[in-house]
Amino acid sequence: MPQPLYIRTHPRDNVGIIVSEGGLSSGTSFASGLVLVDAVPEAHKVALTAIGRGEPILRYGVVIGYAAAPIARGAWVHADLMRLPQPPNLDQLPISTAIPEPLPPLEGRTFEGFVNEDGSVGTKNILGITTTVQCVAPTVEYAAKRIKAELLPRYRNVDDVIAITHAYGCGVAIEASGAEIPIRTLRNLILNPNLGGAPLVVSLGCEKLQPEKLLPDGAFPILGAKPYVVRLQDEQHRSFEGMVTNIMQMAEERLQILDQRKRVTRPASDLVVGLQCGGSDAFSGVTANPAVGYAADLLVRSGATVMFSEITEVRDAIGILTARAANQEIAHELIQQMAWYDRYLERDAVDRSANPTPGNKKGGLANVVEKALGSVAKAGTTAIAGVFGPGERVTKNGLIFAATPASDFICGTLQLAASMNMHVFTTGRGTPYGLAMAPVIKVASRTSLARQWPDLIDIDAGSIATGGATVREVGEQIFQTILDVASGRRKTWADHWGLHNECVLFNPAPIT
Ligand code: CA
């Protein structure tokens, strides 16, 4: 029987996290002298001191809640015993008061990528077929299946053919406030570096989101002189077969261009890495997220772009981030994004306990404050160099806040639109999540999950909790894995099995 184990995340904390696999029974005593007075599940909190009613519960050295009843030393501190603190007031935040000094640059780290005409670099070489409206989605999916079976095997340098389908494009208030978000998301998805600047657009003909609106003049030098747009309602199409033949012919022209591309050695500064978590547990903030944070620092030191997102999961830790903003303008941009989302949630009276999920709670995360403090560890320790709105294309290097909801596929889709070419995803409860457009490296917060799902989890950060590995060791492993996967030398498990979640748009505007 291994020594029973808990960890205190910060010296000020009055709760610890149970590390022992499967949890511990009442009466268990620890080397520190602490004795459990309740059974405490794995990853859940134990009171390290007696906590009186109304007194603060501290984790990460920060108040994550107030005791709803007296809590004995050694008791299980579960969600029902905690009252939720108010979110930080956006008018009283520290503005650029703790700007981190730049870390020493890291030279000579490279990967093998596909260089695009617009200067961006792909980690995959994919033919993307985009759609202006849901009406054409099944037709495009049918055509894509045939392109994959009949054409793709002849073009060995092309990795994949993907249909970018969605529920948008018609029956929507296309000029309403907020409609710019789904439209620019679709536009910027086509510009993702992994699509090689050779997309194909399929339109119905009568929809609200006309190709001209999706692809405005001048925004698409990469499309070249000939617009690769197929309109299904055009006179020339006399049958469904005719439509499919037309799509396949255009696809073949694009495949010929993509096939001529070869991987070349590029500096790590060409990477645009999106960070996300999903199915988090109480270990996420101690193991996987700090290790990803270490990797984020290595990437920033290499000159790369690193994006963190998920507004609802940083909202309660916003004061840490505004203090770290590289200048006051960036701090105010962060606050603007939080304020916009506060109003968006208030409009529909979303309650603050809607996040965390039941799974998060089972994994020991009592509330959104505890989740947020663990979540921001992914962003490492460098200054925040820029802020971008949902679906905007990120055009800066360094650590960037790319505003998105926390929903896994919506965040992933918006990060792809922001020009992400590599994705790192941390999970505690586990998810088989993946994306077709960019590789997704999955990092487990618990060794028990990595063991349970050896053919879905790419990196196990759980050993950090038991002392088997350090944050630095796992962080370096994540960085090296990013370079290997970006170069096509190593495949993620999600790509091995072809597990690709759909692109899901964020549409805060009305549906008509
Ligand atoms: Ca998420």
Nearest to 159 by CA among 481, 498, 507, 415: 498
pLDDT tens, residue by residue, 495-506: 999 999 999 999
Three-point CA angle 218, 194, 409, nearest 5°:
100
Cβ count near 499 (within 10 Å): 17
For the segment 335-350, the average pLDDT, to the nearest whole number, is 91
| DSSP run (H or E) holding 407 | none
Residue with tokens 């965390």: 356
pLDDT tens, residue by residue, 253-298: 999 999 999 999 999 999 999 999 998 888 999 999 999 999 999 9
For the segment 136-153, the average pLDDT, to the nearest whole number, is 98
Nearest to 73 by CA among 42, 43, 38: 38
For the segment 353-379, the average pLDDT, to the nearest whole number, is 89
For the segment 423-444, the average pLDDT, to the nearest whole number, is 97
For the segment 479-492, the average pLDDT, to the nearest whole number, is 98
Q: What are 436's two structure tokens?
A: 């077709």
Q: pLDDT value at position 225?
A: 47
* CA 142–ligand 1 middle distance (angstroms): 30
- Check whether 352 has a pLDDT greater than 80: no
Looking at the domain that runs over 1-86, which CATH code has it been given?
A: 2.30.130.110
pLDDT tens, residue by residue, 89-115: 999 999 999 999 999 999 999 999 999
Q: pLDDT value at position 466?
A: 85
Nearest to 139 by CA among 149, 127, 152, 129: 129
Q: pLDDT value at position 227?
A: 63
177-192 residues labelled b (16+ CB within 10 A) or e (exposed):
eebbbbbbbbbbbbbb
* CA 278–ligand 1 middle distance (angstroms): 4
* CA 97–ligand 1 middle distance (angstroms): 29
Nearest to 166 by CA among 136, 190, 144, 145: 136
Task: Give the residue, 287 or 467, on which the prediction is more confident.
Answer: 287
Residues lying with their CB under 5 A of ligand 1, a single-atom ion: 278, 406, 408
> If you average pLDDT over every residue of the chain, what do you get?
94
- Check whether 431 has a pLDDT greater than 60: yes
For the segment 132-147, the average pLDDT, to the nearest whole number, is 97
* CA 504–ligand 1 middle distance (angstroms): 13
Q: pLDDT value at position 510?
A: 87
- Check whether 379 has a pLDDT greater than 80: yes
Q: Three-class SS string for 280-319?
A: CCCCCCCCHHHHHHHHHHHHHHCCCEEEECCHHHHHHHHH
> What is the pTM (predicted TM-score) of this model?
0.94
* CA 271–ligand 1 middle distance (angstroms): 21
The confidence band for 219, taking pLDDT boundaries of 50, 70 and 90, is low
For the segment 46-72, the average pLDDT, to the nearest whole number, is 95
Range 63-72, long-range pairs (CB < 8 A, 24+ positions): 63/369, 64/366, 64/367, 64/369, 64/370, 64/373, 65/366, 65/367, 65/369, 65/370, 71/47, 72/37, 72/47
* CA 412–ligand 1 middle distance (angstroms): 8
Q: How far apart are CA 174 and CA 168, in angstroms?
A: 10
Nearest to 457 by CA among 438, 437, 471, 478: 478
Domain assignments of the chain as residue spans, ordered by start: 1-86, 126-258, 265-497
Residue with tokens 């639109």: 417
* CA 411–ligand 1 middle distance (angstroms): 6
307-329 residues labelled b (16+ CB within 10 A) or e (exposed):
bbbbbbbbbbbbbbbbbbbbeee
**Per CATH, is 126-258 categorized as 3.30.1180?**
no
Q: What are 97's two structure tokens?
A: 């008061």
Q: pLDDT value at position 217?
A: 64
The confidence band for 218, taking pLDDT boundaries of 50, 70 and 90, is low
- Check whether 146 has a pLDDT greater than 80: yes
* CA 375–ligand 1 middle distance (angstroms): 10
